[in-house]
Structure 1
Amino acid sequence: MQHELIPDATLVRNYMSGQEAALEILILRHKQKIYSFIYSKVFDSDIAEDIFQDTFIKVIRTLKRGAYNEEGKFLPWVMRIAHNLVIDHFRKSNRMPKFDNAGEFNIFSVLSDSTLNAEKRIIKAQVEDDVRRLVDELPDDQRDVLMMRIYKDMSFKEISERTGVSINTALGRMRYALINLRKIIEKNNIVLTN
């Protein structure tokens, strides 16, 4: 059966049952529409590319968790995710402070709140230590991509240039870093929220 004849819903089911190639067909099928939509909001190809990549990281995570429901169609669902990430981008760039790249990374630098009481500060410091230890357990290539993306706010394009690998490889490493972090968290029974 030719790829273009396979409905989205079938491809989604195939991907969820372990056929990795099904996702590639879905991405290729809808890439232009989704990317154009994102670009029409941000007017910057690097930012659009990042949001596009983040959209599919979210799609992959949701599908892997089995949390996708078939009620809506695949494309409108992905467009909603992209739309929310565009809104997040503007929220972050307009109102949220940038990460401080000078010293050691600090996951809470965007959550700075001078009104934190002593107990909350202790909990915050403990969670921060846990996160740092978890990140240290990742393989070097995954840890590097995660640090560059999350803590240094670098685009996948910049990560690709810095590490000398393709954008897809950087994206894959990020995906595996997140999967491995989840496994490490579950293995150690760490609760990151209070």
Structure 2
Amino acid sequence: MQNELITDATLVSNYIKGEEPALEVLIKRHKQRIYSFIYSKVLDKDIAEDIFQDTFIKVIKTLKRGKYNEEGKFLPWVMRISHNLVIDHFRRNNRMPKFSNSGDFNIFSVLSDTALDAERTLIKMQVESDVRKLIEELPADQKEVLVMRMYNDMSFKEISDKTGVSINTALGRMRYALINMRKIIDKHNIILTN
């Protein structure tokens, strides 16, 4: 039977039974619609691609756990997941996330998933280690602002007072720190995922 004639529900059922290619058909079938929706909200190709991938990571995890029960409504379900991830993206980027002041930098203290299995815990530890290494590669002035903001939860006003530079300079250093971290990530092909 040709793929176009197989319903989403059948493909989902086949994937759950262990037929990995069924998921590929579903992704190809709905990629344009889901990606276009995400892009229309974030207006950035890279961010849209990241959220699209995160959407299907969540879809796979849910299907593998046997938690899917939207029989025959696969696309609306996936669109809801992507919509929630877009909202999460804006929440995270509305302002810099605050981190718990545990002394040790933990990028995942802002993620609200408490049910971590051993594999994901290991991945998170690896990524945290990667992030610490990235921070070490930054110029001293940028690293200082980033650490004060992220480790110590200081406001830009407090950073300005402590470093003796204007708030705008502190903001600029933070911005360049994030830009440079992105460049370092790209240069080393580091994949930060959770």
Q: Does 1:38 align with 2:76?
A: no
Checking the alignment, whether the CA contact within 8 Å between 1:96 and 1:110 is kept in structure 2 is: no
**1:70 aligns to what SS in structure 2?**
coil
Q: Which has the larger radius of gyration?
A: 2
Aligned residues: 138
Rounded Cα–Cα distance in structure 1 between residues aligned with 2:77 and 2:44: 23
Does 1:74 pair with 2:90?
no
Following superposition, the deviation at residue 97 of structure 1 comes to: 1.8
The letter of the residue matching 2:94 is: N
Contact 2:42–2:86 (Cα < 8 Å) also in 1: yes
1:189 matched residue in structure 2: none
1:16 corresponds to: 16
Instruction: Report 1:167-186 matches (<5 A).
Output: none
Q: Which residue of 1 aligns with 2:158?
A: none
The one-letter code of the counterpart of 2:31 is K
Partner letter of residue 70 of structure 1?
E
Q: Which residue of 2 aligns with 1:55?
A: 55
Contact in 2 for aligned 1:148/1:159 (Cα 8 Å):
no
Structure 1 contact 145–159 (Cα < 8 Å) conserved: no
Return 5+ residue gaps in structure 1 as ranges: 112-126, 165-169, 179-194
* RMSD between superposed Cα atoms in Å: 3.8
Shift of 1:109: 5.1
Assess, with a 3 A threshold, how the Cα gap between structure 1 residues 85 and 4 changes in structure 2: closer, same or farther. same
Shift in Å at residue 28 of structure 1? 0.5
Name 1:163's counterpart in structure 2.
189
| Cα distance in structure 1, aligned partners of 2:19 and 2:46 | 30
What does residue 83 of structure 2 align with?
83
Is this contact kept in 1: 2:9–2:71, CA < 8 A?
no
For 1:118, the equivalent position in structure 2 comes to none
Deviation readout 1:144-169 (Å, 9 max, x if unpaired)? 568669x979xxxx9676338xxxxx
Offset at residue 73 of structure 1 (A)? 0.7
Q: Distance in 1 between matches of 2:128 and 2:11?
A: 29
Quote the residue 2:168 is aligned against. none
From the superposition, tell whether residues 161 and 13 of structure 1 become closer, same or farther in structure 2 (CA, over 3 Å).
farther
Any stretches of 5+ residues in structure 2 without a counterpart? 135-177, 179-183
- CA 1:146–1:73 in structure 2 vs 1: closer, same or farther (change >3 Å)? farther
Distance 2:108 2:4 in 1: 45
- Cα pair 1:52 1:82 within 8 Å, conserved: yes
The 3-state SS of whatever aligns with 2:97 is coil
Give every structure 1 segment of 4 or more consecutive aligned residues whose post-TM-superposition deviation is greater than 2 Å. Answer: 107-111, 142-149, 158-164
Contact 2:106/2:128, CA 8 A, preserved across alignment: no
Q: Secondary structure at the match of 1:163?
A: coil
1:106: how far off? 1.2
**1:38-74 C-alpha deviation (Å, 9 max, x unpaired):** 0000000000000000000000000000000034510
